[in-house]
Amino acid sequence: MSPFNAPSWKTLVTSVAPDAEFGEPATETRLSALEQTLGVHLPEEFRQLLLEFDGLIADFGADVVWSVAQIEKQNRLFRTEKSFRTLYMPFDNLLFFGDDGGGDQFAFPIHADGEIHKLDIFRWEHETDARSWYAGSLEQFFDHRFAREK
């Protein structure tokens, strides 16, 4: 979404997910702390989304976009849980931010230099450990996530 004359993220989301419930906006301080803790800068578009709402529940109670606290908690878990090391490929190159309500997670890819350069979003499938391209932007993510392809 372009920052110029663009509808709000809430407007976009409610157009495809009428049951959406939004968290209160995150703060710049909290987002900076998250970036420092996880060692990665958030994509600007995602940062703007979190500044508008800190978490999104929709689609019959799924945590479509996690709160900043949940993003931190889940990414720490995925990167440090010892049992995951024998079950799955490493998660250090993914920044998880939400789920589908059935165990699969959504994430931005982190490049080798430790930065997120594109808004591509991947779906991690918990049963197979597959990491599949899902969307090329947050707007497309919401369209796909709520099966309302334009």
pLDDT of residue 66: 97
CA distance 16 to 25: 20
Q: What is the pTM of this model?
A: 0.89
Q: Which CATH architecture has domain 9-145?
A: 3-Layer(aba) Sandwich (3.40)
Looking up tokens 């909290």 gives: 30
Is it the case that residue 6 has pLDDT exceeding 80? no
pLDDT of residue 147: 81
CA distance 38 to 72: 7
Is it the case that residue 63 has pLDDT exceeding 60? yes
**Per-residue confidence band for 150, with pLDDT thresholds at 50, 70 and 90:** very low
**Per-residue confidence band for 4, with pLDDT thresholds at 50, 70 and 90:** very low
